[in-house]
Structure 1
Amino acid sequence: MPDHDVAIVGAGPVGLLLACLLAQRGIDAAVFEAREGADGRSRAIGIHPPGWAALDAAGLGPAVRAEALALDGGEVICGGRVLVSLTFDEHRRVLILPQHRTDELLRARLSEIAPHALRLGRAVTGVQDGGAVVRVSLETTHEATASFVVAADGVRSGIRRRLGIGWMPRPGAGGYAMADVPDAARGARAQLYCEQDGLVESFPMPGGRRRWVASDPHRALDDAERFANAIHARTGMRPELPAGMRPTAFRAQQHRASRLVAGRIVLVGDAAHETSPIGGQGMNLGWAAAVRLAAVIERSLRTGRADLGSYEKHTLASAARAQRRSLFYMTMGRPARGPALPVRNAAIRLLGTAPLRGRTADMITMRGTG
């Protein structure tokens, strides 16, 4: 008999949510995480309809809604003119909550329903599929065994690499700088500035804060003054960064694993697909996949057959759609000058017209993704 029904490698938001879903089904899931503590960075902040549906399924919906800021909608702006204005109804609501707080709520929920499931400071150094049982090699102890192993160990997944699974680049890459600053005066709407010198995003956050993101292809905005000056030059707005704060520079990229299943080992979340954070889809995409995977694992354990093909097919197709959306968002936010600028702006305005407004809101909020 294996030690566990499922071993999950990685205690990020997707691994934790999957563990909660499995534990609710009475499935013994152990989560192995190399880090001793939690990641305190805010990172992903948007919880789209597929995401809050997944959190509801894990019993976390009320706790998240109690703390999150509900985004009313937003505007796309260029040169001081509103190109598109959208309002989100309750079916398209986007909740805003920093990822570190979402992780804390997920950890608390897992502790409530499976007190000993989370194993911190337990780095996984290898996995070996033995047919009916998968052996998990651990850095600090000998090993653990499980009927299934789920790699939720992120974009740089060691398990994916050890299995020799391809990591295919997809179109859509760019440099950005980001800072979360105090700002309680601008309400619960988002602004996207598609300016001639590049994209600026402004998102409200709980606790009277706001996230600013600026395209930064040359990695020049990692200084507070340059960051604020660039945003002011593009939008006329100047975020006030607290003393000593430096913007976080990052590069958005897109990849997709060539396959997600190797026997009884399966990839999920960022280990399966890297989606540009522009558009805020990655975490929600992983959560929707975790809901599918939990149901497939439960059925496989019940029947004794490792039937993961439907999960792989559906998840890869969903990732491909999300990556196409992200590429579109990034393309619309690129610098545009001369004749290209009014053409681009006309295309954006078209998305806000009455015949397309509902579909545009669905696309932005990931409604219907699953």
Structure 2
Amino acid sequence: MTQAFDIVIVGAGMVGAALATGLGREGFSVAMVDRAPAPGFDPDSAPDIRVSALSAGSERYLQSLGAWDHILGMRATPYRRLAVWDETRHPLSNLLPRTSNQVEFDAAGLNASHLGHIVENSVTQQGLWQAAEAEPSVTILAGNGVTGITQVDGQARVGLENGEELAATLIIGADGAQSRVRDMAGIGVTRNQYGQQAMVISVRYQGPVQDITWQGFYPSGPRAFLPLYSAGADHPGESRASLVWYDSPEEIARLKSLSNEALMAEIQQAFPAELPQLTHIEDRASFPIARQHAKHYSAGRIVLVGDAAHTINPLAGQGVNLGFQDAQCLQSILKEARRAGRDLADASVLASYETQRRPANRRMMYAMDAFYHLFSNQIPPVHLLRNLGLGAARALPFARNQVARYAMGIDDELPAVIRQLAARLPGLNQL
């Protein structure tokens, strides 16, 4: 049996579900396909190991989709401050006061109530599924993998594992960094594997929920703290947080082999002194870090969004925000194409999407790699440079606020100092 739709979205994660909801609200008939079952939410459960820092721009988009209230009704933690500091000690450090290597971004300085929210990925996905289910023109086909895609006679056909077939004018690949849709479209990628891995640890700590997220930079990589929510009546006086520890694959493997008690002791010693007193480790996971960019965002009647099109260094948790920006852009372009009576998969329509999104995604890649290369070394001149840079950011509110506004999704333009630094980094001209 063949079902016909305007658009088929393969991948029902955060970006795919957002785009399905947005297109459904515009009146497109949409099928959203994913091998995984519908996400669930248990208010008494420990937090999802995967969390994201949703920017103010992403919040506005999720509000427009009708998903944000669902998310707030589950769990979301606002953060009002973001701090960055250099923890690398070197003889040159003695030439500078301790405060010179610290910078803090504060929502109050931007006349904002908060900088963003820390939200579990499963909560964001669940909120978006609820919004998608409310759209009559959106059909969710969970538990169905894709076996193949063919493009003939002005349409694309998607074969499903259950033997059914979907026909559509346009196929959107939102199926992640290892995208099968991208492979089926014959779209290659450029990829750079970093020499680090990231370990994510869900913890409980003593004290109230904090309103700050921070990263301390070490030569081996940053160590980050992301506040979550109160641990509840079962753990009075405690709150939950997500920690991220970047290091070499060998060191991450050693940390993973430790018991929870031993790992907690290592974290308490190795993390900056600002880390509150930990009381319990609830979960842990690790993953390699890679920068990846599709050589093209579309091929025929297939177009890519989110991690299927690009992945970046997760240094500031910006990956999903870029994906939401892809979704907003593509939704707007497809709406205009339909209004003008054009084929949704017309080459010029999809080229317009890539023309807008590729430079924006490259800018964020530049920014994350600039920070990565600047902080992940102990070369004395570079060490001095980054301390001076942090000191300048601390002393110049205008420059600091430019960076904050870019990270929040308020401004589209990368601050000039980051553009200049990124232009000197190896390999970025190939993105």
The answer for the alignment partner of 2:105 in structure 1 is 86
TM-score by length of 1: 0.90
Q: Deviations over 1:323-360 (max 9, x none)?
A: 11111232344253756534322222222222412112
Q: For residues 254 and 197 of structure 1, what CA distance do their matches in structure 2 show?
A: 18
Match of 1:52 among 59, 69, 89: 59
The answer for the alignment partner of 2:202 in structure 1 is 180
Match of 1:110 among 122, 128, 132: 132
SS across alignment from 1:119 = strand
Match of 1:167 among 183, 189, 200: 189
Contact 2:9 2:173 in 1 (8 A): yes
The answer for the alignment partner of 1:358 in structure 2 is 401
Shift of 1:172: 5.4
Greater CA deviation, 231-240 or 134-143?
231-240
The answer for the alignment partner of 1:327 in structure 2 is 369
Q: For residues 14 and 116 of structure 1, what CA distance do their matches in structure 2 show?
A: 15
Q: Deviations over 1:295-345 (max 9, x none)?
A: 222233341322211101111111111111111232344253756534322
SS across alignment from 2:314 = coil
Say yes or no: does 1:367 pair with 2:390.
no
Structure whose alpha-carbon radius of gyration is higher: 2
- Assess, with a 3 A threshold, how the Cα gap between structure 1 residues 242 and 313 changes in structure 2: closer, same or farther: same
- In the TM superposition, what are the counterparts of 1:207-356 in structure 2 within 5 Å? 207=230, 208-217=239-248, 218=250, 219=252, 220-222=254-256, 223=258, 224=260, 225-226=262-263, 228-230=265-267, 232-236=269-273, 237=275, 240=278, 242=280, 245-302=282-339, 303-305=341-343, 306=346, 307-336=349-378, 340-354=382-396, 355-356=398-399
The answer for the alignment partner of 1:205 in structure 2 is 228
The answer for the alignment partner of 2:12 in structure 1 is 11
- Assess, with a 3 A threshold, how the Cα gap between structure 1 residues 254 and 45 changes in structure 2: closer, same or farther: same
- Assess, with a 3 A threshold, how the Cα gap between structure 1 residues 336 and 91 changes in structure 2: closer, same or farther: farther
Please tell me the residue identity of whatever aligns with 2:404. A
Please tell me the residue identity of whatever aligns with 1:199. P
- Assess, with a 3 A threshold, how the Cα gap between structure 1 residues 239 and 141 changes in structure 2: closer, same or farther: farther
SS across alignment from 1:160 = helix
Please tell me the residue identity of whatever aligns with 2:80. D
Say yes or no: does 1:23 pair with 2:24.
yes
Identity across matched positions, percent: 22
- Assess, with a 3 A threshold, how the Cα gap between structure 1 residues 57 and 316 changes in structure 2: closer, same or farther: same
Q: For residues 91 and 132 of structure 1, what CA distance do their matches in structure 2 show?
A: 49
Which stretches in structure 1 are left out of the alignment for 5+ residues?
none
Q: For residues 231 and 73 of structure 1, what CA distance do their matches in structure 2 show?
A: 22
The answer for the alignment partner of 2:50 in structure 1 is 43
TM-score by length of 2: 0.78
Contact 1:289 1:315 in 2 (8 A): yes
Q: For residues 9 and 239 of structure 1, what CA distance do their matches in structure 2 show?
A: 43
SS across alignment from 2:18 = helix
Which stretches in structure 2 are left out of the alignment for 5+ residues?
42-47, 88-97, 231-238, 414-431
- Assess, with a 3 A threshold, how the Cα gap between structure 1 residues 288 and 92 changes in structure 2: closer, same or farther: farther
- Assess, with a 3 A threshold, how the Cα gap between structure 1 residues 311 and 255 changes in structure 2: closer, same or farther: same
Greater CA deviation, 255-264 or 190-199?
190-199
Shift of 1:12: 0.4
Contact 2:217 2:223 in 1 (8 A): yes
Say yes or no: does 1:69 pair with 2:111.
no
The answer for the alignment partner of 1:145 in structure 2 is 167
Say yes or no: does 1:191 pair with 2:214.
yes
- Assess, with a 3 A threshold, how the Cα gap between structure 1 residues 134 and 173 changes in structure 2: closer, same or farther: farther
Contact 1:198 1:336 in 2 (8 A): no
Contact 2:224 2:245 in 1 (8 A): yes
SS across alignment from 1:336 = coil
Q: Runs of at least 4 residues of structure 1 off by over 6 A? A: none
Q: For residues 345 and 39 of structure 1, what CA distance do their matches in structure 2 show?
A: 45
- Assess, with a 3 A threshold, how the Cα gap between structure 1 residues 125 and 359 changes in structure 2: closer, same or farther: same
Please tell me the residue identity of whatever aligns with 2:320. M
Greater CA deviation, 7-16 or 83-92?
83-92
How many pairs are equivalent?
A: 369
- Assess, with a 3 A threshold, how the Cα gap between structure 1 residues 170 and 49 changes in structure 2: closer, same or farther: farther
Contact 2:149 2:158 in 1 (8 A): yes
Contact 2:80 2:114 in 1 (8 A): no
Please tell me the residue identity of whatever aligns with 1:318. A
- Assess, with a 3 A threshold, how the Cα gap between structure 1 residues 342 and 247 changes in structure 2: closer, same or farther: farther
- Assess, with a 3 A threshold, how the Cα gap between structure 1 residues 337 and 241 changes in structure 2: closer, same or farther: farther
Greater CA deviation, 172-181 or 233-242?
233-242
- Assess, with a 3 A threshold, how the Cα gap between structure 1 residues 300 and 155 changes in structure 2: closer, same or farther: same
Shift of 1:152: 0.6
Q: For residues 185 and 154 of structure 1, what CA distance do their matches in structure 2 show?
A: 35
Match of 2:155 among 130, 133, 148: 133
Say yes or no: does 1:120 pair with 2:176.
no
